[in-house]
Structure 1
């Protein structure tokens, strides 16, 4: 059976734990502790190691879902988990004071993963506040990273259907990039 690793990245409170729970065929493994930073995200617990789930996407294909802690103090773990991953779903909380800045930060940090695999941006909590529109996210990404094409979705991270759309979009993105080299890559022999 082919197995792939997808990282769920993004700031604390963006919905990574909920997204993995909504997608996983198994009971997700969670490593949560009491949240001591209620200013950044007003929630009782936060991930301190990783979340883990699995989804079978075909008769012989499984995706391992790894959710990483969003706080920068855990960056040392990000690099370790990034090595095995084929792509990432970047969750951004649209209700955050600077969601576009957060998106750009994580795109920059995980650029190696995007370059060798793929990425999708999933904007959570779009229904809660008056945050940026998807078009504003696309415009900011195009201005900051010309030539970078990443699908951007508005999602409810708790919705299996919406998260499957994001996951399958990522998989198609990875497969199409593997089949057709980008202008930034040398052709594969």
Structure 2
């Protein structure tokens, strides 16, 4: 079994001005970097410069290469109008084979729903690109009230949920890494 740390990309799914996503993503990234099974990077879609028309550009080629190199993902998603962001949909659609047979977890935030409606919609989309959706999620209801000025939270459910999500993500990423090494995914 390969014991090399799993390359995890935490994807910041909001690109709006004044967005809260980086606070949530930074908190989760600190937790992921403390987990011994992962080598964690952050892919902020505000910096990715992906074309909305999904055309091929040097930026989209770099994005696909980065997705191909990763072995696991966590999408940090806001909930906008009961759904996820257009930037996150463009990101998913900008790659295809690069997502396949890789696990994805979700950290969501929003108002009363905590972004859970966005997460449930994303589960359908990632299934279509042959990703494995991790059941455990982390959600922040009224997210701006859940974080202190230091970017930390005392939300026990989120803290516990992030530990469970990372454990499940590590298990799936290791299992799928071994499966891909033994036989290419037939998708």
- Bin of the TM-score, shorter chain as denominator length: 0.5 to 0.7
Length-normalised TM-score, structure 1:
0.56
Tell me which residue corresponds to 1:20. Answer: 26
1:109 aligns with 2:112: no
Q: CA 1:172–1:96 in 2, change beyond 3 Å: closer, same or farther? A: farther
Checking the alignment, whether the CA contact within 8 Å between 2:5 and 2:39 is kept in structure 1 is yes
SS at match of 1:185: coil
Which has the larger helix fraction? Answer: 2
Count of equivalent residues:
153
Please list the CA deviations of residues 114-137 of structure 1 after superposition, one character each: whole Å capped at 9, or x if unmatched: 325322233322635797375554
Q: CA RMSD in A?
A: 4.0
1:53-92 counterparts in 2 under 5 A? 54-57=33-36, 61=37, 63-71=38-46, 74-75=49-50, 76=59, 78-79=63-64, 81-82=66-67, 84-92=69-77
Tell me which residue corresponds to 2:185. Answer: 185
SS at match of 1:173: helix
Taking the aligned partners of 1:83 and 1:133, their CA distance within structure 2 comes to 24
Taking the aligned partners of 1:136 and 1:80, their CA distance within structure 2 comes to 25
Length-normalised TM-score, structure 2:
0.56
Q: CA 1:3–1:139 in 2, change beyond 3 Å: closer, same or farther? A: closer
Q: CA 1:113–1:16 in 2, change beyond 3 Å: closer, same or farther? A: farther
Tell me which residue corresponds to 1:155. Answer: 139
Residue segments in structure 2 that go unaligned for 5+ positions in a row:
51-58, 144-152
Checking the alignment, whether the CA contact within 8 Å between 1:117 and 1:174 is kept in structure 2 is yes
